Amino acid sequence: MTRPVNQDPDDLRRSGNDNHGVAPASRERARTNDEYRNKFYSAYGYAAHSYLVWSDGQYRTAHETGWNTKADGHETTGDNAYSASTNFESTDIHGGTQIRRTAPEV
């Protein structure tokens, strides 16, 4: 036996707002810390140069890609929540017009 879907479109919109609100923080986290790089040799010396070369090439790219992908995921989830809320509302309105004497507003 099926059960009715009790989904409030405003809850979906709220979820979409939450996801859109998190995305800028993830994009900010994707930025690299140039101050760290500028002070690297004074803090660790030139013996750590090979680490700096590795981190600039491989790690920095993976870091930026990972956090930007996370932000993209939040934005996609937020967009999907907005679309779903609109679909729920239009389905409720359309479905209500197809059934007679079930809802007072029809």
Residue 83 lies in a domain: yes
Closest of 30, 12, 4 to residue 79, by C-alpha: 12
Residue 105 lies in a domain: no
pLDDT score of 101 more than 70: no
Distance CA 65, CA 61 (A): 6
Q: Using 50, 70 and 90 to split pLDDT, how confident is the model at 75?
A: very high
Q: Is 89 inside a domain boundary?
A: yes
Please state the domain count of the chain: 1
Binning pLDDT at 50, 70 and 90, where does residue 90 land? confident
The DSSP code for 59 is I
The range of the structural domain enclosing residue 23 comes to: 9-27+46-98
Mean of all residue pLDDT scores within the chain: 85
Q: Report if residue 93 sits inside a domain.
A: yes
CA distances, 94 to each of 2, 3, 60, 81, 102 (Å): 20, 19, 51, 20, 13
Residue 79 lies in a domain: yes
